[in-house]
């Protein structure tokens, strides 16, 4: 008895006992082949339709991406203009600040009073305290152009000098006002 699992020799001729059995299998195989051919054609058509849809959606995506990129560029431009306008408004509001009404002499007195009133309780003899006191006039001069001009023109604002002679020997610090 012939079994389909047996390896067939393509060079041999089927005998009289094998022929009907092989013909039945050939008919079944041809039916299966027709069914697979039909499925393959359907699958190819479905793939072609999917590719067409994909290309259409891809084209839509490109169009929408272009619209999105334009919207992003517009939003960035509007934000840039907004930030610039905020700066303009801020600058114009600054003209109404009460500090601008002060005369240079009054501002100089305030700066001198601030520097003269600085007390670093417990830190006056430390290097940290002295450095902080030395930096105070320059920090006040960095507030704005006008304060820097007043601080530089004033003889008293920049005349405060502190010098620590030697911390290791315990010598006292030197202060000149």
- Of 25-29, 83-87, 98-102, least confident by mean pLDDT is 98-102
Q: Cα separations (Å) of 92 from 1, 42, 79, 136? A: 106, 73, 20, 29
Q: What angle do CA 61, 64, 69 make, to 5 degrees?
A: 120
- The per-residue pLDDT for 1 is 43
Question: Which span out of 67-71, 118-122, 124-128, 151-155 was modeled with the highest average pLDDT?
Answer: 67-71
Coil/strand/helix, residue 8: coil
CA-based nearest residue to 157, from 118, 108, 119, 100? 108
| Numbers of helices and strands, H then E, in the chain | 4, 2
- The per-residue pLDDT for 131 is 64
Average model confidence (pLDDT) across the chain: 79
Place of tokens 């169009």: 63
Residues 6+ apart with CB under 8 A from 121: none
Higher-pLDDT residue of 90, 10: 90
- Of 52-66, 88-102, 114-128, least confident by mean pLDDT is 114-128
d(CA 133, CA 90): 32
> Quick check: 40 pLDDT over 60?
yes
Q: pLDDT-derived band of residue 167, with 50, 70 and 90 as boundaries?
A: low
Q: What angle do CA 175, 176, 177 make, to 5 degrees?
A: 125
């Amino acid at each position: 008895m012939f079994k389909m699992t047996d390896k067939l020799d393509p060079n041999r001729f089927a005998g009289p006992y094998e022929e009907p059995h092989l013909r039945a299998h050939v008919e079944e195989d041809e039916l299966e082949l027709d069914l697979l051919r039909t499925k393959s054609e359907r699958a190819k058509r479905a793939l072609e339709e999917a590719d067409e849809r994909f290309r259409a959606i891809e084209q839509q995506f490109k169009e929408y991406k272009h619209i999105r990129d334009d919207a992003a560029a517009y939003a960035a431009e509007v934000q840039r203009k907004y930030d610039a306008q905020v700066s303009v408004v801020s600058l114009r509001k600054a003209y109404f600040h009460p500090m601008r009404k002060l005369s240079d002499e009054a501002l100089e007195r305030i700066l001198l009073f601030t520097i003269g009133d600085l007390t670093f309780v417990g830190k006056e003899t430390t290097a940290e305290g002295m450095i902080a006191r030395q930096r105070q006039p320059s920090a006040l001069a960095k507030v704005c152009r006008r304060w820097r001009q007043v601080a530089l023109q004033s003889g008293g604002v920049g005349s405060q000098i502190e010098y620590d002679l030697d911390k290791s020997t315990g010598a006292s610090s030197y202060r000149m006002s």
